[in-house]
A = this chain, B = another copy of it.
Amino acid sequence: MEIRDLRALLAVVRTGSFTRAAEDLGYSQSAISQQVAALELEVGQQLVMRRPVRPTAAGQRLAEHAARILLRLDVARSELSHFGHDAAELHVAVSPLDAPGLLAIAIRDLRSSDPRLQVRIRLLDAGAAVAEVASGTADVALVDGIASPNEPLHLADAGLLASTALAESALVVVLPLDHPLASRASIDLDVLADAPWIVAPSLAGSEVYALSPLALGHGRRTAYDGHDLLTMISLVAGGLGVAVLPASCCGHLDGAVAVPLRTPRLVHRTELLALRSVTVRQQRAIEALQSASSAL
């Protein structure tokens, strides 16, 4: 099992095409074909079906292992390249719903002790943020997601990256003003299984929607692929459906109401990610973000 072959398998599974995998990896189509064939020969079974190109069960499983291995290799490379050195600029990756006040406080704090510090913030989804930290493109990441109370988000192998919880906030169901449940004190998700939903994976995380009552429900779904909270809320206010959002983001709703989610017991959680072997500057950034979050 060569790294190269695993990378090829992963690219093929991801893109659904040998040709595109070859383009992505800078190989010829033929090379990818040979690499996957070598892997299949080695494990003695087919890993992807051809035409259409889809992973078999074994291929899917191997691709998952491959993804973890390649991520860890990225982390290893990044950690080693940071041994000793310390960059002038601090790159922060942020996933959509991180409490915005947190960043501002932390950066002001950092600037006060290091006035010449350049900070660069990029908005990414959680998976991409993890990849950026792993590859060293970002120094730290603020990522959010849905989890059980006091449970970590499972963003990477435990221990691969240093992660600390910054904040947890309750989840609310956002309803149009005239919704029959709008005056409830709290809501169980089951009763909304067949309701029309507005699904925004990059906002509230796909975890919420994967919960069984929702996954099995037959209500109409509206997908919103953006990051913008106001748009999301206006969709709800406009009567297109209901949505789950973190309470911390729902201070001022216009034409909608937020009702606390009672079951399932889930919270919106924000974590801070960094490489485990951090430089002095990264360490300071982590501390600043931690103290900012406890100040909020």
* A interface with B by C-beta (< 8 Å): 1-3, 43-45, 57-58, 61-62, 65-66, 68-69, 72-73, 75-77, 79-81, 83, 154, 157-160, 277
A62, A66, A76, A83 interface centre (most CB from chain B within 10 Å)? A76
Q: CB-CB < 8 A to A62: which residues of B? A: 76, 80
Q: CB-CB < 8 A to A57: which residues of B? A: 83
Q: CB-CB < 8 A to A73: which residues of B? A: 1, 65, 69
Q: CB-CB < 8 A to A44: which residues of B? A: 80-81
Least Cβ distance of A54 to chain B in Å?
16
Give 12 pairs: A residue, B residue, CB < 8 Å, sorted on A: A1-B3, A1-B73, A1-B77, A43-B80, A45-B80, A57-B83, A61-B80, A62-B80, A65-B75, A66-B76, A69-B73, A157-B157
In the A-B complex, the 9 residue pairs with the closest CB atoms: A158-B158, A65-B76, A157-B157, A43-B80, A58-B83, A69-B69, A58-B80, A1-B73, A65-B72
Least Cβ distance of A184 to chain B in Å?
33
- Counting every copy of the chain, the complex holds 2
Least Cβ distance of A37 to chain B in Å?
16
Q: For the complex, what is the distance from the CA of A279 to the CA of B66, rounded to whole Å?
A: 22
Given A1-B73, A157-B158, list of 20 further CB < 8 A pairs?
A: A1-B76, A44-B80, A44-B81, A45-B80, A45-B83, A57-B83, A61-B76, A61-B80, A61-B277, A62-B76, A65-B72, A65-B73, A65-B76, A68-B72, A68-B157, A69-B72, A69-B73, A157-B157, A157-B159, A158-B158
Nearest CB in chain B to that of A4: its residue: B2
Interface of chain A: mostly helix, strand, loop or mixed: helix
Q: For the complex, what is the distance from the CA of A209 to the CA of B192, rounded to whole Å?
A: 52
Q: CB-CB < 8 A to A68: which residues of B? A: 72, 157
Q: CB-CB < 8 A to A80: which residues of B? A: 43-45, 58, 61-62
Least Cβ distance of A222 to chain B in Å?
32
Least Cβ distance of A220 to chain B in Å?
34
Q: For the complex, what is the distance from the CA of A100 to the CA of B113, rounded to whole Å?
A: 59
Q: For the complex, what is the distance from the CA of A170 to the CA of B45, rounded to whole Å?
A: 47
Q: CB-CB < 8 A to A43: which residues of B? A: 77, 80-81
Q: CB-CB < 8 A to A3: which residues of B? A: 1-3
Q: CB-CB < 8 A to A79: which residues of B? A: 61, 65
Q: For the complex, what is the distance from the CA of A277 to the CA of B154, rounded to whole Å?
A: 20
Q: CB-CB < 8 A to A154: which residues of B? A: 158-159
Q: For the complex, what is the distance from the CA of A159 to the CA of B1, rounded to whole Å?
A: 21
Q: For the complex, what is the distance from the CA of A57 to the CA of B276, rounded to whole Å?
A: 13
